[in-house]
A and B are shown apart, each in its own frame.
Chain A
Amino acid sequence: MLGPGLYAFQFSIGFGKVSVGWLIMNISSAIPAIVSLFVYGEKLTRLKVVAFGLVLVSLYLIFLGRQAEMKSEASSTPGKTHLKWYLLMLVIFLTNGMSSYGLKVIAGWGLPETDKFPYLTVWYAAGLATVGVPTLFQHVRITVLEVGWSSIMAALSLGGQIAMAVALKLNVPGHVVFPIAIGGSVFIVILGGRFLFGERLNKLMTSGVSFGLAAIILLSLS
C-alpha cells in the first residue's frame, strides 16, 4: 500500500475527496492486469472483461461527477486546481498499479521468494533518493508532526499486510482475502470521508465509486 500512487494521492486529498483518491489507487490494479495480457499472454477471461468494463464506467462517472462539482464550485475554486486534480488522478491510476509490477517481473525470472525483500529495499531506497534529494535542496523541515503521522501510516500499512499474510496462512483462500481486504478498505475510507471529514459525494461520484468498488472486487478475484 505504500506504493507510488500514495504520493500523488497524498497531494490530491488537499483539494479532492479522500474516498475517490483511495478508490483510484485500488482500481489502478487494472493497468498491470491489462499489461499482463500482452506481456505474459494471460487469458482474457469474462471476469476480467467485466472488471475492465466496470473500471471504465467508474472512471467516466467520477469524471462526470467532478465536472458537476466544478460547476457548483466554479466561483470559489481556481480552474488550475481542478486540472491538477485530474492529472493527479491520472498519475495515481497509471503508476500505482504498475509500481508493483516489478515483483511480477522478478517472479517470472524464477528468483527465490526471499529475494522479494532485498528487491523492495532497493525499490524504496531508489524512491527515497529521488524524492529526498530535490526536497533537501528546497530546505523542507521535517517536524515531529510528520514523523508521528508517517509512523502511524507505516504501522497501519504494515499491520494490513501482516493481517493478510496471516489470514492466507490460516488457509483463508486468496479469493476471499483480497476482495475483503482491498474492497473493504475502500468502503471504510468512504465512511471515514463522510463521517470523519464531512465529505459529501454527489450522485455521479457515488455511482462511480460503487462501480469502482465492484471492479476492485472482480479484479481481485480474477
Chain B
Amino acid sequence: MNSGILICFLGTLSFGLLGCASKGAERKHCQTSALVIMIYVWATLVMMIRSAGVPSPLSLPLKAVAVAVACGICSALAYTPSNSPSGSARYR
C-alpha cells in the first residue's frame, strides 16, 4: 500500500510535468501543428505496439471501429479551428 501511494505520487508528478512541458514547448517556439502531429504519431505508435501484444488485435467489432473513428475525428476537429492562418502563432 505504501509503495503504491509512492508510485501514485510519481504518476501525479508525471502528469504535472506533462502540463509544464506543454508550456515549455510553447516557450521554445515549437510549431503547434507539428508538435500535435508528433504527439499523435507517438500515441498511435505506442498503441499499435500495445495492440500487437493482445491475443486478437484485429478482432475489433465494426461498430467499435466506427465509434473510434468518430471520436478520433472529433478530437481532431477540436484542433482544426485553431489551425487557421489567424491561429495562435500570430500572438507569440
A187 in the interface (beta carbon within 8 A):
yes
The interface residues of chain B lying within 8 Å CB-to-CB of A8 are 78-79, 82
The interface residues of chain A lying within 8 Å CB-to-CB of B86 are 80
Chain A interface size, as a band, is 35 or more
Contacts A3-B75, A14-B92, A106-B64; A170 near B22 (Cβ below 8 A): no
Q: Which of A111, A153, A162: most chain B CB closer than 10 A?
A: A153
Contacts A6-B36, A13-B26, A109-B63; A99 near B75 (Cβ below 8 A): yes
Within the assembled complex, what's the spacing in Å between the Cα atoms of A18 and B79?
Answer: 17
A122 in the interface (beta carbon within 8 A):
yes
List which A14-46 residues lie within 8 A (CB) of chain B. 14-15, 18-19, 22
B77 to chain A, nearest CB (A): 7
The interface residues of chain A lying within 8 Å CB-to-CB of B80 are 130-131, 134
By the criterion CB–CB under 8 Å, are B38 and A118 in contact?
no
B1 to chain A, nearest CB (A): 6
Of the candidate stretches A48-56, A63-71, A173-181, A205-213, the one touching chain B is A173-181
Number of A-B residue pairs at CB separation under 8 A: 316
By the criterion CB–CB under 8 Å, are A95 and B21 in contact?
no
The interface residues of chain A lying within 8 Å CB-to-CB of B40 are 124, 127-128, 131-132
Within the assembled complex, what's the spacing in Å between the Cα atoms of A82 and B81?
Answer: 15
Contacts A122-B60, A142-B34, A146-B31; A170 near B1 (Cβ below 8 A): yes
A residues touching B (Cβ–Cβ < 8 Å)?
1-15, 18-19, 22, 78, 80-81, 84, 87-88, 91-92, 95-96, 98-99, 101-102, 105-106, 109, 111, 114-115, 117-132, 134-135, 138, 140-143, 145-147, 149-154, 156-164, 166-167, 170-172, 176-177, 180-182, 184-189, 191-193, 196-197
